[in-house]
Amino acid sequence: MAERKKGDGETILIADDHPLFRQALSLAVKGVRPEAAIIEAGTVTAALEAARGASGLALVLLDLHMPGAEGFMGVALMHAQRPDVPIIVVSSADAAGSAREAVRLGATGFLGKHEDLSTMEQVIAAALAGERIAGPAADEPLDTMASKLAELTPMQLQVLQGVLAGRLNKQIAHDLGIAIPTVKAHMTAILRKLDVANRTQAVLAARTLGLEVRP
């Protein structure tokens, strides 16, 4: 379950599986928006549930590696669900490479976990002001695939997430609480939107963009 802290005005979601770093991000948020309401989540699932029900959501601070997703799947899922809300990816990974991939999948900015409080506040303030980090270097194949991936609905991304995890259709159906024919219908739509012929090609296409699932 996500934990809600009292506050007024804008709502900001902090999603990170380390409580101490959530505390640091909360401190940075309060330095920029003292009256903001803060929602905390420690898993991708909890973050998506919190974002779905949050009113006045102005910003998402999203850890790149959390239970439930690996690589950039969490970014893709969050952007598909709330395309209207800026996302700052928070990670200890290589900033240059991670920022490029995150922006391709819908993120607004990138924040390294090694940064000091002042830098965190600057990045948060910029995102809330509608600013974006510099776009990724042109890479037509990757940019084209990212555009195709952006056409997937949140449920289709969750089905793709199951495929990436090596789950069978019946297992994906059980995980998502939907019927097997519904999974098959989503899979057909995924193959069409990604312009690939089968599940293996869909997995390879997703992995070119750093999409993975943590076992």
Any domain includes 81: yes
Reported as a single tens digit per residue, the pLDDT across 97-129 is 677 777 777 888 888 888 899 999 999 999 999
Would the pTM of this model clear 0.85, i.e. be above it?
A: no
Model confidence pLDDT, tens digit, residues 142-175: 667 778 888 899 899 999 989 988 899 999 999 9
CA-based R_g, the chain, Å: 17
Q: In angstroms, rounded to a whole number, what is the distance separating the alpha carbons of residues 77 and 82? A: 9
| 12 located within any domain | yes
In angstroms, rounded to a whole number, what is the distance separating the alpha carbons of residues 103 and 116? Answer: 22
Residue 47 lies in a domain: yes
For residues 56 and 100, what is the distance between their CA atoms, to the nearest angstrom? 28
Based on the structure, what is the number of domains in the chain? 2
Is 135 a domain residue? no
Tokens of 124: 């948060």
Sheet with 37-41, edge to edge strand ranges: 3-5, 37-41, 11-15, 57-63, 87-91, 109-112
Give the CATH number of the domain where residue 111 resides.
3.40.50.2300
